[in-house]
Amino acid sequence: MTRVLAASAVIVDDVGRVLLVQRGHEPEKGHWSVPGGHVEEGETFAEAARREVLEETGLHVEIGDELWAVEVPYDEYGVFEIHDFAATVVGGTLQAGDDADDVRWASDADLDSLPLTKGLATYLRRSGAMSRR
């Protein structure tokens, strides 16, 4: 089975909302997730997370601690090994770009009404990421 290395960033604003992107491609096209994607050859997970945030949201971020790592199987795509990092916005202008159909800030309550990627709400809540400001 193919292993796909990926990295994402959890960005939380001053009122505890998390930045989400609506996926523009499979797997899980149309679902909301934190910004992230494939690790390119020669990149660290943190470097990939920083690059993906810029490509998908237009924001420059400082990458912090790794919050969690998870393996997510997608039948025809293989297993994604995803490393998620805390991140802080340091510049840029928020706009959907690259393979994101939309971007938005979401409160904890919003997580229950949005179609999220597999397990995202659980990981966000378990990590306490949305309460860190």
The confidence score (pLDDT) of residue 132 equals 59
Q: Answer yes or no: is pLDDT of 79 > 80.
A: yes
Determine the topology of domain 3-127 in CATH.
Nucleoside Triphosphate Pyrophosphohydrolase (3.90.79)
pTM, entire model: 0.93
With a CB cutoff of 8 Å and minimum separation 6, the contacts of 76 are none
Alpha helices by DSSP H, 1-107: 45-57
pLDDT confidence band for 74 (50 / 70 / 90):
confident
What proportion of the chain, given as a percentage, has pLDDT over 90? 80
What's the pLDDT tens digit per position in 26-66?
888 999 999 999 999 999 999 999 999 999 999 999 999 99
